[in-house]
Amino acid sequence: MMRQAKARKLGVIAVWKLDRFGRSLRHLVDTLAELEALGVAFVSLSDQIDLSTPAGKLMFHVIGAMVELERALRLSGGQR
């Protein structure tokens, strides 16, 4: 699917649930950023996330912030 997106053969990718698309939160954020850069819309039907809308983009940034928090906690040994 990503090969087709990179070849500009897809305009939108729709999934039933966001957690079924990425192996990890970090992988998900990286992949969604890549799709956005390619101009490929992304929609998660049950999560109601559509990256072509302002609300969907906000949700993407919230997810990205969670990834950064997870990474920081892991690097600090889970200390707050």
As given in the structure block, the two tokens for residue 20 are 């079924």
Summary count for the chain: helices (H), strands (E):
3, 3
pLDDT tens readout for residues 56-71: 888 878 877 887 788 7
Q: Angle 25-38/54-75 helices, nearest 10 degrees?
A: 140
What pLDDT sits at residue 17?
Answer: 82
**CATH architecture for the domain at 2-75:** 3-Layer(aba) Sandwich (3.40)
Q: Kindly report the pTM of this predicted structure.
A: 0.70
Q: pLDDT tens digits for 15-57?
A: 988 777 877 777 888 898 899 899 999 998 887 888 888 998 8
Confidence of residue 12 (pLDDT cuts 50, 70, 90): very high
Domain spans of the chain?
Answer: 2-75
- DSSP conformational letter for 52: T
